[in-house]
Amino acid sequence: AALLAGAGWGYWRMRQRTPPAVVIKPGSQVLFAPLAGATPHFDAPEGLTLRVLEHAGEWLRVREDRREGWIPRDSAHIVDLDS
């Protein structure tokens, strides 16, 4: 039981540190670098949920499944789980 409780707590902490964000701009792409001209990594269709790993100015470093990259801050809305 303690192992399950520990695993549950670890999952909860991970979710708190990596809030979800929903892509709100049609035609968005996740890029390999936080630069406007960077190479696209994967498409991020409107409505896709991403995990936010980092904020860097006007950019968000995000994860979707096992893929990570950068998306402009104005392309995604961070969901506030505390509200």
Residue-wise pLDDT tens digits, 31-56: 999 999 999 999 999 999 999 999 99
Q: What is the pLDDT of residue 83?
A: 54
CA distances to 2, 19, 42, 72 from 39, in Å: 45, 25, 9, 13
**64 SS3 class:** strand
> What band does 18 get if pLDDT is binned at 50, 70 and 90?
confident
Helix (H) or strand (E) holding 8: helix 2-17
